[in-house]
Structure 1
Amino acid sequence: MANQVILVTGGANGIGKGICEYLVENSPTTNGTSGNETIVIAVDIDENAGFKLVSEEPRIRFRCADVSNEVEMSLIIKEITTQYGHLNGLINNAAVSTPYNSPLEELELTEWHRVLNINLTAPLLMSKLCLPLLKKAKGSIVNISSTRAQQSEPNTELYSASKGGLVALTHALANSLGPDIRVNCVSPGWINTTNEPLRGVDSNQHPVGRVGDITDTAAIVSFLLSEQSGFITGQNFTVDGGMTKKMIYAE
């Protein structure tokens, strides 16, 4: 187990891409593997974004697959088993990114099932498939939830329920898989994943005075993979510049 191997779902865009790039630049020390290469494998359904990712950062491997498809994901896990024989970290980041759904009176159950399959069932499936590899490395799982697990806007039932379920799944898995595997969760707030300029009010409404960037999430993910977090499991870490602790009433 000379090299660290980390699998990131939804790794070709947004926060997932940022996590992949951060991990190859800042290798976490995980259970006896330090000073060697960190192999980051990004899985995403967006093939073009995946090829762009590896062209920009050749140290990242990319596999095009649907995380909710058990057959496709089983083939990727089989490949990791054959090539590396272990897995130090699984980052369950893939999700339907838009938080909004149809109004309840217009909502089709197919819409509900699609979001739940990707946002909640897929992390369970990935955890199951990766279990033997993670046990061998005494690795970690980090689930990426959202502050919308704790607070909502109108017409966000699907996203909020799936992300709230992911927080609950985290502490359930932590109890089932410990002590060999630690399982934690990160709930980002507003993270600017583009280079588009922001308004002053966007930053000023945050208690820390700015909108989050991808590194804010990636850094805590790296910490949760590392030996420094060895006494932490089953926890949800909110990374939102203090917004969920801010009382807001219309004046």
Structure 2
Amino acid sequence: MSNTYYKSKTVLITGGAQGIGLGMAEAFTREGAAVIITDVDQEAGKEAVKRLQQGKGNIEFILCDVSAEHEVVALMEKVGEKYGLLDVLVNNAGIADPFMGNLQEMLMSEFDKIMAVNLRGPVMCAKYSLPLLKKSGYPVILNISSTRAFMSEPNTFAYSASKGGLEALTHSLAISLAVDRIRVNAIAPGWIETGDWQKKSQKYKPQHSKEDKEQHPVGRVGTPEDIAEAALYLCSAKAGFITGQSITIDGGMTVKMIYK
């Protein structure tokens, strides 16, 4: 990326206090953007701000549960009051644990909670950020999906369904918001190691076996930086002819045929 493109941009990243979200926040602040991160974990949010301010980043944390409509409305009001507009919305917040037990034992309340955060949340964030995005000269929405939208392990019903819905939402929004010049794309990460990108009380040193690495054609597990670099590109003018697309970033795992 250039050293100037994001210097005048305002970027909102939901679920930005840890993991992939924090990796993207670091990348956008490094490029000079004013970045707002949201999260339900206040401790993680405060740590993230401290971490990124050490790198001279223009970073702000706002506590927000994206599954609560009134909190999303309040979030966008705060962003509007301070910045006046929004250039980039990154819908990253999500309940990451995909496993729910077998279908017969699954609690519908758990299913509904995951769908509310992972799918309804992005819909509401897009809806209530729209007036701010329309004020931007180059508005972009980026959804963080998952390769589990396309392939599954057993008993991952809600997570897979929510990410599959997010994929469909991406191309639907791209067509619906084209009249407002808003580009909408998605990134579908595969195995991304976030141990170094957690709050202090949950941080751990990643350890991957030879088998873990070799099941990826590129020979390693992914990192938040891998997703962040793609996000910088997709949200920039360099990707101006890309909309309604989903980019899989998984080290080649989903195209590798495996016979047992």
Both proteins in one fold, TM over 0.5: yes
User: SS at the partner of 1:102?
Assistant: coil
1:233 alignment partner, one of 228, 243, 253: 243
TM-fit CA distance, 1:198? 1.2
Q: Does 1:15 align with 2:20?
A: yes
TM-fit CA distance, 1:196? 1.5
**What is the percent sequence identity of the aligned residues?**
47
TM-fit CA distance, 1:3? 2.7
Match of 1:156 in 2: 156
Residues 8, 33 of structure 2: 8 Å contact kept: yes
Match of 1:245 in 2: 255
CA distance in 2, matches of 1:171, 1:62: 29
Match of 1:30 in 2: none
Match of 1:5 in 2: 10
1:39 alignment partner, one of 34, 43, 47: 34
Match of 1:196 in 2: 206
Match of 1:34 in 2: none
User: SS at the partner of 1:105?
Assistant: coil
The verdict on how the C-alpha distance between 1:2 and 1:147 changes in structure 2, with shifts beyond 3 A counting, is: closer
CA distance in 1, matches of 2:216, 2:231: 22
Residues 171, 244 of structure 2: 8 Å contact kept: yes
Equivalent residue pairs, number: 240
TM-fit CA distance, 1:83? 1.2
CA distance in 1, matches of 2:75, 2:104: 40
TM-score computed with the length of structure 2 as normaliser:
0.90
- Structure 1 residue runs of 5 or longer lacking an equivalent are 28-36
CA distance in 2, matches of 1:61, 1:242: 35
User: SS at the partner of 2:251?
Assistant: coil
TM-fit CA distance, 1:102? 2.4
CA distance in 2, matches of 1:198, 1:60: 32
Deviation readout 1:171-212 (Å, 9 max, x if unpaired): 000000014100000000001111322111111111111111
TM-fit CA distance, 1:13? 0.9
User: SS at the partner of 1:114?
Assistant: helix
TM-fit CA distance, 1:65? 1.2
CA distance in 2, matches of 1:81, 1:133: 7
CA distance in 1, matches of 2:77, 2:110: 31
Deviation readout 1:21-72 (Å, 9 max, x if unpaired): 11111x2xxxxxxxxx411000000100001111111232101110111111
CA distance in 1, matches of 2:127, 2:231: 20
Tell me how large the CA RMSD over aligned residues is.
1.3
1:1-251 matches, within 5 Å, as 3-25=8-30, 27=31, 37-58=32-53, 59-137=58-136, 138-179=138-179, 180-194=181-195, 195-250=205-260
Residues 15, 39 of structure 2: 8 Å contact kept: yes
TM-score computed with the length of structure 1 as normaliser:
0.93
